[in-house]
A and B are shown apart, each in its own frame.
Chain A
Amino acid sequence: SQQGEEDPQALSIQEGENATMNCSYKTSINNLQWYRQNSGRGLVHLILIRSNEREKHSGRLRVTLDTSKKSSSLLITASRAADTASYFCATVSSGNTPLVFGKGTRLSVIA
Chain B
Amino acid sequence: EADIYQTPRYLVIGTGKKITLECSQTMGHDKMYWYQQDPGMELHLIHYSYGVNSTEKGDLSSESTVSRIRTEHFPLTLESARPSHTSQYLCASSGIGRDRVYNEQFFGPGTRLTVL
Contact = CB atoms under 8 A, between A and B. Distances in A.
Given A86-B40, A88-B43, A96-B50, A42 B103 contact: no
Contacts of A106: 40
A103 B107 contact: no
A82 interface: no
Interface residues of B, number: 29
Interface in B36-68: 39-43, 45, 48, 50, 58-59
Interface residues of A, number: 28
A68 interface: no
A42 B90 contact: yes
A65 interface: no
27 contacts: A1-B59, A30-B99, A30-B101, A33-B103, A33-B104, A40-B88, A40-B110, A41-B109, A41-B110, A42-B92, A42-B109, A42-B110, A43-B90, A43-B105, A43-B107, A45-B106, A88-B42, A88-B43, A90-B105, A92-B102, A95-B101, A98-B33, A98-B45, A98-B58, A99-B102, A100-B45, A101-B43
